[in-house]
Amino acid sequence: MSSSYKYIDPDFTYTDPKTGLLRNLQDITSSDILLFVESSAVTKRLHELYESPIKIEGIDSLFKIHRHLFQDIYVWAGKKRIVEISKDGKQFFPTSHFENAFRYIDQLIIEFKKIPNDNKLQLADKLAEILDNVNYLHPFREGNGRTQREFLRLLASEKGLTLILNPPDNADVYDRYMKGTIESDFNTLSELIFELINTKEIK
């Protein structure tokens, strides 16, 4: 977790005031151990979604994915954050307006589903728009990146497309993904997604 993130949480809703770590279901008090256990648990849950994918119906599916991925670690898995988050001075979407954002993203998903499966350029543009908005929403206290990448993968998969936004041993893809999301750079995201969905998966 980047130290450049800032959280307005005076009541320590999510963290232990003594250790500064996120409260977790396994009562882990070491940051290294928590990182290892969380990563291992989420990797296992990601593999499960390849076998039994969650159908993307709307923004609610994003919450189902988060709950599935983090169910072993956090009691608040799948629940919207109740604290404000900023990174490098840029505030993510305010919690007071979440419902408006949910409705807007639901509309973007409806629009995506109407695009013909063979129109990859338009599909890439819409996926980039969805990703940009979901990233700005940042609805969870932790795990936003992993959840939104899986959300996009599943959404693309429903159109018969392969979209891996965090491939192993491919720093270029991840760097461009990070640039696009951090800077809200639609063109970078759209170009990256278009390239990825046009690349044949290597078996």
The verdict on residue 202 lying in a domain is no
Measured CA to CA, the distance from residue 18 to residue 95 in angstroms comes to 26
Quote the domain boundaries for residue 44: 5-197
Count the neighbouring beta carbons within 10 Å of the beta carbon of residue 60: 12
Best CA proximity match to 60, nearest among 139, 136, 161, 162:
139
What's the CA gap between 203 and 2, in Å, rounded? 34
The span from the CA of 108 to the CA of 97, in Å, is 17
Low-confidence stretches of the chain (pLDDT beneath 70): 1-3, 200-203
Q: Which DSSP state fits 117?
A: T
Pick from 186, 174, 102: nearest CA to 145: 174
Burial class (CB in 10 A: 0-12, 13-18, 19+), 27: exposed
Query: Model pTM?
Result: 0.94
Per-residue pLDDT reduced to its tens digit, 91-110: 999 999 999 999 999 999 99
Helix, strand or coil, per DSSP, at residue 73:
coil
Residue partners of 184: CB distance under 8 A and separation at least 6: 132, 135, 136
The predicted structure's pLDDT at residue 88: 84
Number of domains within the chain: 1
Whether 75 maps to a domain, the answer reads yes
| pLDDT for position 200 | 55
Residue 57 one-letter amino acid: E
Instruction: Examine residue 50 and state whether it is found in any structural domain, yes or no.
Output: yes
Contact of 68 with 45, CB cutoff 8 Å: yes
Output the pLDDT for position 24.
97
| Domain at 63, CATH number | 1.10.3290.10
Residue 203 lies in a domain: no
* pLDDT score recorded for residue 108: 98
Cβ atoms of residues 1 and 76 within 8 Å: no
